[in-house]
Amino acid sequence: MTQQNILPARVEATIAKQQYKSELLVACAQLFIVALLSILYIVAPSENTPDAPIMAAPLGLSLFAILVFLRLYFALTQQLKSWFIGLSTIAEMVVLMGTIWAYHIQFEQPAMIYLKHTALLYVFTLIALRTLRFQAIWVVFSGITAVICWLILVGYALYTAGDNSVTWDYVTYATTGQIFLRSEFDKILSIVIVTGILAVTLFRGRRILINSVSQTQATADLSLFFDTDVAKRITGDHQGVMVGQGELRHAVILFTDMRGFTIAAATMSPSELIALLGEYQHLLVPIIQQHGGNIDKFLGDGILASFGAVNPSATYAADGFKAVDAIMKAVEGWEGARKKAGLIAPGVGAGLAVGEVIFGVIGDDKRLEYTVIGDAVNLAAKLEKHNKVEQSKALSTMDALNTAINQGYKSATTEMRAQRNVSGVTVPIDLVVWI
């Protein structure tokens, strides 16, 4: 196996779990078939003579049920190995063929009579059940076993039949006990063809399964580095992600920053600093995501998030304001817990702005990034910095608040400050302040 064909361990593990579930499904399906055939055998008119030396159907069903329960036990106890699957596949087919063979003993007739028994059709059921495991080798293994077993049965029938037991006339075959070799050839050919078709289909299906598992795993991995919705866009883009792709959105931009982080960084060890950042991000990110927000990027101790940019939303402004309310409440509890534990307890500032933004791809062919661009992004950053001037925890604008209220937001503990001068903004603006 080349390096390119080796699957990642995580993908192999995921497929192995599916194979395990498939084996349980195979066992359940086989038990259902055994139960169904048993019921049919009980309710159907008896085909046994009173002094029959053997009852083929009950014997075959009993042996088959034992095999299924045995394999189910090995599966449930995590002991199901490839050698046992192969052995049980052979055993299942041998039991079926043995049951067919036993019919001539049950009816006390020449062996050639079993060649006409309809139980042969269950061969295709056993082969088809092997497809549930998504491994073509077991389908082929089952088909080869069936062909070999049937050849043995045909050979036995010919051996015990004596001279003049073969006919090439179908009418003679249908009305007498002679063997029509063309019919046996058709049966074997049908088994081979069905096995081949199922094996090829399963081989292709397994490749699709591997690609699907790999794609799912890739999306999960990308979600560790990108926002979940962005990761889905990257992996689900049919045309491929390219520079220059962009969409205009009405959105809310949220910028958060940790207060006193620079001072904390000077007094804390690297591990303590990273732990502090981890707590801060672990606190804020779920709140943002629970309110429909998407994380654009982490900027050291800052977080840039958007509402309605990645996915259009009719409540983007209301969602953004609700997120800030929740963040302020959560941060208050976080600060208190850290102070109680004797740890540095920096605050968190936030700036929120509403406006048109462009959500799209920037970068070059070797390094791409999804991001948001627009005046609202710049304003959110400026408002976050302006918290120091206003002595506030978070800031937004009256226009943003009005938009949020129109979308169903009910104003929380905020204060209005009119005509405030914000650095970098050319005209005074009315602010909404979280104290």
pLDDT tens profile 154-212: 999 988 887 778 888 888 887 777 888 888 999 999 999 999 999 998 888 777 767 76
Instruction: Please give the Cα distance from 283 to 187 (Å, whole number).
Output: 67
Domains of the chain: 3-223 (no CATH), 242-434 (3.30.70.1230)
The pLDDT tens digits for 365-382 are 665 566 788 899 999 999
The model's pTM: 0.54
Q: Where are the beta strands (DSSP E) in 29-152?
A: none
108 pLDDT band, cuts 50/70/90, is confident
* E strand map for 169-209: 179-180
Q: Is 71 within 8 Å of 27 (Cβ atoms)?
A: yes
Q: What's the sign of the alpha-carbon dihedral 28, 31, 37, 40? A: negative
Q: Which residues pair with 167 in a beta bridge?
A: 180
* pLDDT, tens only, 40-89: 888 876 565 666 678 888 889 999 999 989 888 888 888 888 888 889 99
- Are 87 and 97 within 8 A, CB to CB? no
Among 50, 53, 179, 162, CA closest to 114: 179
Question: In this predicted structure, what is the pLDDT of residue 178?
Answer: 83
As a whole number, mean pLDDT of residues 278-300 equals: 89
User: Which pLDDT does position 272 carry in this prediction?
Assistant: 85
Position 107 confidence tier, pLDDT thresholds 50, 70, 90: confident
